[in-house]
Amino acid sequence: METNDSARSEFLREFPKTGPDTRAGKMLRHYWHPVCLSRDLNDLPYGVRMLGEDLVAFRGLDGIVGLVGMRCPHRCTSLEYGQIREQGLQCSYHGWTFDHRGHCVAMPLERAGSRAMGQISHLWYPVEEWGGVVWCYMGADKHNPPPLPKIDILTRTDGEIILDRGDFRNYNYLNFLENFADIGHSYVLHMLVPGTVPDDMRPYCNFTVNTDWRQLGFHVIETHFGMKSVVIHGTSDPELKYVNTWSIALPTHWRFGGITAGLAPDFTADRRESGGMLRIIDDTHFEIFRYTLLRSGNFRGSYFPQGSNVKRGVVVDRGTVVKKDYDYRKYPAWEGRPPLEDLVMQEMQGAIPPRETEHLVSTDVGVALLRRIWRKSMDDVAKGKAPKAVITDSEGVVEVDTFKGFAKAGEIEIGPKNMPSSKGNQGLIRDEQGRLVFA
């Protein structure tokens, strides 16, 4: 028992780490990570801290993207202030120039024939540019990285893809990711049950969904991409169920098919396909990248039910909370906007939360599964094996389950398979009669 406890504490201590010499950091380095968006790389170098390492991305004059160590190996100044040249990235101080593979290709002050240049090899990582994103692989086998798994939304051509970055957080990335393994909080923290609905949405909402979330029960399943959580609500028709799925794809993608129970069919802002991924900066910082597929008919704005009272744990209308004069908290008037509610709950856990003091209960099954996946992968990497693989189709695409909508009781599959997706205009969401909307 004592051994189990100390192994658990040790895991919890190592779990949030990201650096190159940590068990978790070594595991994370087996996956591709987002660096920046393609549009961020123009004629200036782009400084970027990744998994605790300070790096610089740049687009060479030939259009090819490189990622090298930030600190010039000559006198340590930052290559973020370097110059993009024909042969690569040139340090502005004395002109040493590095190509995409970290070779030093110019030392303009040295005499011709100096051997110094050949002795310098600078830190570099392989990079791929795909889907409007620059990705890097920081694993050991730099010359032979695994193929980049193509995240499904970014491959879609049946709508407009909106890509955004720049939301920086000052706490461990797992505070964020575990939030997506915890579908239960949407009912309590966000109070996402049918409240008031804009008139133009009313015809499409099924108010017979039983939104009593107490003791609802969650299904969590390990999948080919990571894991998913599923909740099922009854409706007034015993044959018709309302299903909602949230997923996490390794290493840092999340996906949810909207959060408003029983509301919002396919074409609303809540139901458009959206999710994102994290750029892990270091143990206590990350940046959020969001991607959304807007299909014909999707609302562009965001929609959350609004009301006037906030009373957690009780089904009430909700709405904008006005700042009170005596509210001295860092985030006053934080209630009523789900993204801010999430930020507050995640940040207030602590930059690196004291996880060993937690008391997980049966409804924390999602958090527990996520930690099991991480723990097994960390152990496997420590033994010289590969961590959990992200399985793609023959095109290299990883399809992530995002089902949200109505399904006939007999059609619901609680298992690792994806529920029907909206791909190919299939129409993911069904109306209250179970018919596909926009099929």
* Least distance from ligand FES to the Cβ atom of residue 111, Å: 16
* Least distance from ligand FES to the Cβ atom of residue 93, Å: 4
* Least distance from ligand FES to the Cβ atom of residue 180, Å: 42
Closest CA to 388 of 228, 226, 279: 226
Between 96 and 256, whose beta carbon lies closer to ligand FES? 96
Please give the residue whose beta carbon sits closest to Fe ion in the complex.
342
Question: Which of 8, 13, 74, 376: binder of ligand FES (CB under 6 A)?
Answer: 74
* Least distance from Fe ion to the Cβ atom of residue 312, Å: 13
Between 92 and 363, whose beta carbon lies closer to ligand FES? 92
Between 75 and 312, whose beta carbon lies closer to ligand FES? 75
Beta-carbon contacts of residue 342 (< 8 Å; ≥ 6 apart) = 176, 179, 189
Per CB under 6 A, contacts with ligand FES among 232-261 are: none
Packing angle between helix 2-14 and helix 365-382, nearest 10 degrees? Answer: 90
* Least distance from ligand FES to the Cβ atom of residue 92, Å: 7
Between CA 90 and CA 106 the distance in angstroms is 8
* Least distance from Fe ion to the Cβ atom of residue 350, Å: 18
* Least distance from ligand FES to the Cβ atom of residue 70, Å: 11
Q: Which two tokens stand for residue 76?
A: 């340590």
For Fe ion, the binding residues (CB under 5 A) are 342
Residue 342 partner contact from ligand FES, Fe ion, none using kind-dependent CB cut-offs of 5 to 8 Å: Fe ion
Between CA 64 and CA 17 the distance in angstroms is 31
Residue 13 partner contact from ligand FES, Fe ion, none using kind-dependent CB cut-offs of 5 to 8 Å: none
Between 242 and 304, whose beta carbon lies closer to Fe ion? 304
* Least distance from ligand FES to the Cβ atom of residue 79, Å: 7
Q: CA angle, corner 179, sides to 314 and 220, nearest 5?
A: 90
Binders of ligand FES: how many residues, by CB under 6 A?
9
Given a contact cutoff of 8 angstroms between Cβ atoms, the answer to whether 261 and 209 are in contact is yes
Closest CA to 80 of 285, 53, 72, 88: 72
Closest CA to 303 of 230, 219, 198, 396: 198
Between 68 and 281, whose beta carbon lies closer to ligand FES? 68
Question: Which of 5, 64, 75, 372: binder of ligand FES (CB under 6 A)?
Answer: 75
Between 99 and 342, whose beta carbon lies closer to Fe ion? 342
Between CA 112 and CA 282 the distance in angstroms is 41
* Least distance from ligand FES to the Cβ atom of residue 253, Å: 37
Between 266 and 342, whose beta carbon lies closer to Fe ion? 342
Considering Cα of 183, then 187, then 188, then 190, what sign does the dihedral take? positive
Beta-carbon contacts of residue 24 (< 8 Å; ≥ 6 apart) = 14, 15, 16, 17, 18, 374, 378
DSSP state letter for 363: G
**Encoded amino acid at 375, one letter:** R
Given a contact cutoff of 8 angstroms between Cβ atoms, the answer to whether 118 and 99 are in contact is no
Residue 74 partner contact from Fe ion, ligand FES, none using kind-dependent CB cut-offs of 5 to 8 Å: ligand FES
Between 95 and 146, whose beta carbon lies closer to ligand FES? 95
Binding mask 43-72 for ligand FES (x = CB under 6 A): -----------------------------x
Residue 19 partner contact from Fe ion, ligand FES, none using kind-dependent CB cut-offs of 5 to 8 Å: none
Between 68 and 400, whose beta carbon lies closer to ligand FES? 68
* Residue 121 contacts ligand FES per CB under 6 A: no
Closest CA to 366 of 217, 201, 218: 218
Between CA 180 and CA 389 the distance in angstroms is 20
Per CB under 6 A, contacts with ligand FES among 346-365 are: none
Q: Which two tokens stand for residue 171?
A: 């706490």
* Least distance from ligand FES to the Cβ atom of residue 78, Å: 9
Between 47 and 95, whose beta carbon lies closer to ligand FES? 95
Residue 96 partner contact from ligand FES, Fe ion, none using kind-dependent CB cut-offs of 5 to 8 Å: ligand FES
Between CA 46 and CA 397 the distance in angstroms is 28
Between CA 5 and CA 54 the distance in angstroms is 35
* Least distance from Fe ion to the Cβ atom of residue 342, Å: 4
Per CB under 6 A, contacts with ligand FES among 80-119 are: 91, 93-96
Between CA 128 and CA 161 the distance in angstroms is 19
Considering Cα of 170, then 323, then 334, then 267, what sign does the dihedral take? negative
Between 98 and 304, whose beta carbon lies closer to Fe ion? 304
Q: Which two tokens stand for residue 402?
A: 């995002």
Closest CA to 183 of 195, 174, 192, 172: 192
Given a contact cutoff of 8 angstroms between Cβ atoms, the answer to whether 114 and 96 are in contact is no
Q: Applying CB under 6 A, which residues contact ligand FES?
A: 72, 74-75, 77, 91, 93-96
